[in-house]
Copies of this chain bind each other. A is one copy, B any other.
């Protein structure tokens, strides 16, 4: 057999820790809080079918033909209107790029901005796939401490001073993955100011912002951007259909144009059928009502999570109480190795994602992420009972 000579970019075998975790957790007898999927029972299957039917009737040939790298105009108009309505962000059509899921925004931004040795400042902890992408372009990371109100701005400014090579600040300001935390309005203003002051870019990743089940909406960092330093990204994956792979970037036209060139080399353009379908879906449906339904369900599940945690987890365990999104974050004092804990939990037929891969540098011990968006109510109860038993055993070891 041929021994293939891969490039330096290819990660070594066995480094996909999260893949291994999800695979271990896939055993049907395990109740897994490890995933990150939306609740499929709320997918608007019937309405999307109607939208797609209309697309075939009205734009059949166009949806099946090659399209523009920036995306289908009708969808870009939907996005433009959407960011105005939801986030009070003004944009022209030329500021909008449709991508193959928001993962592609991460990839294109990494490719367009990160030279090897550049520093990317990230929240501590942060979304692990973003770390993987930026790492693949040779980024160094510096982590910025968080509290319940998101990234700490004094810590951020220190990091900016300590890392003059900083190119990008990556943040998930709403219901962050993995912690579920939300950054305050005051900090968002400061964040935008710091980016301008230090001439670094902010990649504001907002996949969950609309899934708010309690509290007040906080404006996007982009809404405070006076200088074009904020690149705003989001997706239809959490509100409509992750399977369609539709994300987007709203940014300065110069950034959009450069990323469009890179996108052409990546996949020419994003699937036209899905783009036309979602544009049609917006025209024909009350999307806000649909998102409200999702938020209500996830809110109910989050409440059940907190009830279960209080009932079954050993004393001293800390946890976040998100106002939206899909995840909460647990810290277990006295337990250092959550990868080891993960293995013990598998024996109790319950799973989570250990905290380690969410940290760019130093790992905060004893933390893990729980998903609730895709957990049925009875699973939550039984799963947390199992998890509580495993945690009690671990704490008392």
- List residues of A whose CB falls within 8 A of some B CB: 1-2, 4-11, 16, 37-38, 40-41, 43, 45-46, 48-49, 52-53, 56-57, 60-67, 99-101, 103-104, 106-107, 111-115, 118, 129, 132-133, 136-137, 167, 199, 201, 227-229, 237, 240-245, 252, 254-255, 258, 261-262, 264-274, 277
Q: Can you give 12 A-B contacts (C-beta < 8 A)?
A: A9-B111, A9-B262, A40-B62, A45-B60, A45-B61, A99-B267, A103-B267, A104-B267, A107-B265, A243-B271, A245-B270, A245-B271
Q: Which 9 A-B pairs have the closest CB atoms?
A: A45-B60, A243-B272, A64-B241, A49-B56, A100-B267, A40-B61, A271-B271, A2-B228, A43-B64
This protein's copies in its complex: 2
**Residue contact A40 to B11, C-beta cutoff 8 Å:** no
When distances are taken between beta carbons in the complex, the residues of chain B under 8 Å from A266 are 100, 103-104, 107, 266-267
Extra A-B contacts (4), CB below 8 Å, given A65-B243, A132-B265: A6-B258, A10-B258, A129-B264, A271-B274
Q: In the complex, what distance in Å separates the CA atom of A262 from the CA atom of B10?
A: 7
Which chain B residue shows the least CB distance to A133?
A: B265
Q: In the complex, what distance in Å separates the CA atom of A392 from the CA atom of B167?
A: 55
**Residue contact B49 to A268, C-beta cutoff 8 Å:** no
**Residue contact A228 to B1, C-beta cutoff 8 Å:** yes
Distance in Å from the Cβ of A207 to the closest Cβ of chain B?
Answer: 12
Q: In the complex, what distance in Å separates the CA atom of A173 from the CA atom of B134?
A: 36
